[in-house]
Chain A
Amino acid sequence: MVWSRPVHPSLLLAENSSSPGASHSGAKLIDALLPASAAGIIELLSPVPPGWGGTLLLGLLHSIEIAVGATCLGLLIGTCGAYGKLYGGPVVRDLLAVYTTVVRAVPELVLILLLYYAGTDLINQLLTAMGYQRIDISGLVAGIAVLGFVQGAYSTEVIRGAILAIPQGQIEAARAYGMSPGLLLRRITLPAMLPFAIPGLANLWLIATKDTALLAVVGFFELALATRQAAGVTKAYFTFYVAAGALYLMLSLFSNLILGRVEAWSRRGMPSVKEAR
């Protein structure tokens, strides 16, 4: 992180006294890493209003909210999609194949733009056509819906693979006991597929956290846009992009830590599965 870099006090002083853009002294190395002075950077990143740290943290919070929402929605779509792909009729299967293929072949950025404008428009046209009042879809909901739709395609494949990895005997045994399909799903399929699905889903969560940055391009307020605004207003582009990168990295590392635990938990009592992916 930039601000923890040791800076010699004399250089700091020299930096502070010179005007930006006019320093040709020995402070060049420091200059390269810190466009403004170190003190200035701490001020820029401080969480209380003259600094933009609070804005960045708020952006991070929004990013996490969207990522959580999108992953949950993706899981829901993924579970239904996987079931449809495995047990659905031919039409359902074909439609799902089209869905997963298209989503995985088109850049997220394009999908986000398309769904962001078209999705809410379609829902509203549908609602008005059905005689309801049009609704006002907030940016958060739109962001979650768009990313969730994308995540759903990937989840479908992950969960489908995981369900296929369940030993067939377990499902047959459950059927033999006369379990209803709902009970079978809840008691056998879902718990048994978890250890196979979690590595893939963990990866999807990491992708979701990073994909939230793309929403900046449609003007949705999350970490990347907060950074862009902060950098644009203060002109400290380098500082803020490094800071944003550090925040994303911390989120990823923290997620890895938690997900590792979850993975270990989901595999409790199982022989070590080496190639669960």
Chain B
Amino acid sequence: MAGEATVINVAARTSLWLQPHRIVLILIALALVLGAAFFMRWDWLPQYYQMGLVGIWRSLWILAVTCFLGFLLAVPLGLAQAAGPFWFSAPAKAFCTVIRGTPLLIQLWLLYYGLGSLFPQYPWIRESWMWPYLRQAWPYGVLALTLSFAGYEGEVMRGAFAGVPKGQLEAARAFGMSRWKIFRRIWLPQAIYRALPTLTGETVLQLKSTPLVATISVIDIFAVSSKVRQDTYLTYEPLLLLALIYMAITGILVFAFSRIEARIPNKIG
């Protein structure tokens, strides 16, 4: 499970901030930051910060949309694998295997350039209502990232569905609930609760995948930093700032998820 490795450890360390060695380390870090601020070139910031904000907004938007859609897709994928008959479970399993077994970069290029290279053979595509979307790059980025998220999270959902105790479902059946009702009221909510802890890790992983869309000409925050690098011939400054931005976003995500998780009752099943 890919998520496991990235669950960021936000152990309770609030009280331990002010130990002597920590203060020294923080001072060193501050010195490094100040040194970077003084000795590196930041004069390009005013010119690009607006573009940067748009880029951050676009990255976040892609992240939110693809996680949401990907999760919606992951539910049937997990269910099909956990409980479906062979002709449902086999394609779902194949889908997850292919998505998890190939690099996202290749999936992205296949969707954008691979499919694009087939367009000239079909003139009618350009007349269809889809063309305004097919012309742009972001739908491909959103599609690839959604499928990727669904592939990884589908595997998690499979485990989550399979992990709901049999007794719960049997009890629901004993109450005379219909199959649909059992799914809607018992099975799905419990599976989602079980999958929630992995969501933090998966979302952070997804955030870390978003810069790949820059390779198909979507202008996200990564693309903006590349632009700064190309315009100013500076190598480190835009990249360092970019790393800082991603760390900040990750930090906010982890914090937000920990707040959400704290609100969810953990005594289930």
| B5 closest partner in A (C-beta) | A154
In whole angstroms, what is the CA distance A211 to B5 when docked?
15
| A236 closest partner in B (C-beta) | B117
Tell me whether A35 and B102 are in contact (CB under 8 A).
Answer: no
User: For chain A residues 107-125, which have a beta carbon within 8 Å of chain B?
Assistant: 107-111, 113-114, 117-118
Tell me whether B101 and A158 are in contact (CB under 8 A).
Answer: no
| A216 closest partner in B (C-beta) | B105
In whole angstroms, what is the CA distance A228 to B250 when docked?
31
Stretch at the interface among B44-52, B209-217, B261-269: B209-217
Tell me whether A91 and B109 are in contact (CB under 8 A).
Answer: no
User: For chain B residues 72-115, which have a beta carbon within 8 Å of chain A?
Assistant: 97-98, 100-107, 109-110, 113-115
Q: Mark B13-42, 1 if CB is under 8 A from A, else 0.
A: 000000101100100000000000000000
Interchain CB contact (< 8 A) of B21 among A94, A231, A238, A242: A94
Chain A residues lying within 8 Å of B22, measured Cβ to Cβ, are 90, 94
Q: Kindly provide the distance from the CB of B16 to the nearest chain A CB, expressed in whole angstroms.
A: 9
User: For chain B residues 200-249, which have a beta carbon within 8 Å of chain A?
Assistant: 204, 207-212, 215, 222, 235-236, 239-240, 242-243, 246-247
Chain A residues lying within 8 Å of B118, measured Cβ to Cβ, are 31-32, 35, 238
Does A80 belong to the interface (CB within 8 Å)?
Answer: no
Q: Kindly provide the distance from the CB of A38 to the nearest chain B CB, expressed in whole angstroms.
A: 15
In whole angstroms, what is the CA distance A32 to B22 when docked?
61
Q: Kindly provide the distance from the CB of A22 to the nearest chain B CB, expressed in whole angstroms.
A: 9
Q: Kindly provide the distance from the CB of B44 to the nearest chain A CB, expressed in whole angstroms.
A: 17
Chain A residues lying within 8 Å of B25, measured Cβ to Cβ, are 91, 94-95
Tell me whether B121 and A108 are in contact (CB under 8 A).
Answer: no
Tell me whether B215 and A237 are in contact (CB under 8 A).
Answer: no
Does A23 belong to the interface (CB within 8 Å)?
Answer: yes
Tell me whether A213 and B105 are in contact (CB under 8 A).
Answer: yes
In whole angstroms, what is the CA distance A102 to B97 when docked?
29
Chain A residues lying within 8 Å of B64, measured Cβ to Cβ, are none
**Chain A count of residues within 8 A CB distance of the other chain:** 58
| B98 closest partner in A (C-beta) | A249
In whole angstroms, what is the CA distance A31 to B243 when docked?
44
Categorize the interface residue count of chain B: 35 or more
Tell me whether A114 and B5 are in contact (CB under 8 A).
Answer: no
In whole angstroms, what is the CA distance A105 to B243 when docked?
8
Chain A residues lying within 8 Å of B209, measured Cβ to Cβ, are 107
Given contacts A157-B5, A200-B4, A242-B114, contact A107 B208 (CB under 8 A): yes
Chain B residues lying within 8 Å of A21, measured Cβ to Cβ, are 120-121
In whole angstroms, what is the CA distance A91 to B26 when docked?
11
Chain A residues lying within 8 Å of B5, measured Cβ to Cβ, are 154, 157-158, 200, 203-204, 207
Interchain CB contact (< 8 A) of A228 among B109, B204, B242: B109
Tell me whether A238 and B115 are in contact (CB under 8 A).
Answer: yes
Interchain CB contact (< 8 A) of B247 among A102, A238, A277: A102
Does A189 belong to the interface (CB within 8 Å)?
Answer: no
In whole angstroms, what is the CA distance A43 to B101 when docked?
26
Tell me whether A245 and B106 are in contact (CB under 8 A).
Answer: yes
Q: Kindly provide the distance from the CB of A165 to the nearest chain B CB, expressed in whole angstroms.
A: 13
In whole angstroms, what is the CA distance A40 to B207 when docked?
39
Does B6 belong to the interface (CB within 8 Å)?
Answer: yes
Tell me whether A91 and B21 are in contact (CB under 8 A).
Answer: yes
Chain A residues lying within 8 Å of B102, measured Cβ to Cβ, are 210, 245, 248-249, 252
Chain A residues lying within 8 Å of B104, measured Cβ to Cβ, are 210
Does B12 belong to the interface (CB within 8 Å)?
Answer: no
Q: Kindly provide the distance from the CB of B56 to the nearest chain A CB, expressed in whole angstroms.
A: 13
In whole angstroms, what is the CA distance A245 to B21 when docked?
49
Given contacts A21-B120, A107-B246, A203-B4, contact A252 B100 (CB under 8 A): yes
In whole angstroms, what is the CA distance A249 to B114 when docked?
18
User: For chain A residues 16-43, which have a beta carbon within 8 Å of chain B?
Assistant: 20-21, 23, 28, 31-32, 35
Tell me whether A224 and B106 are in contact (CB under 8 A).
Answer: yes
> Nearest 3 CB-CB pairs, A to B?
A252-B101, A213-B103, A241-B110
Known contacts A105-B8, A249-B102, A277-B4; can you find 12 more A-B pairs with CB under 8 A?
A106-B208, A106-B243, A107-B207, A109-B212, A110-B211, A110-B239, A110-B242, A224-B103, A224-B109, A245-B107, A248-B101, A252-B101
Binding site for B on A (CB under 8 A): 20-21, 23, 28, 31-32, 35, 90-91, 94-95, 101-102, 104-111, 113-114, 117-118, 154, 157-158, 200, 203-204, 206-207, 210-214, 216-217, 224, 227-228, 231, 235-238, 241-242, 244-245, 248-249, 251-253, 277
Can you show 25 pairs from A to B with CB atoms below 8 A apart? A23-B121, A94-B22, A105-B8, A105-B250, A106-B246, A109-B222, A110-B242, A110-B243, A110-B246, A117-B235, A118-B235, A203-B4, A213-B106, A214-B105, A224-B109, A227-B106, A238-B114, A238-B118, A245-B102, A245-B110, A248-B101, A249-B102, A252-B97, A253-B97, A277-B4
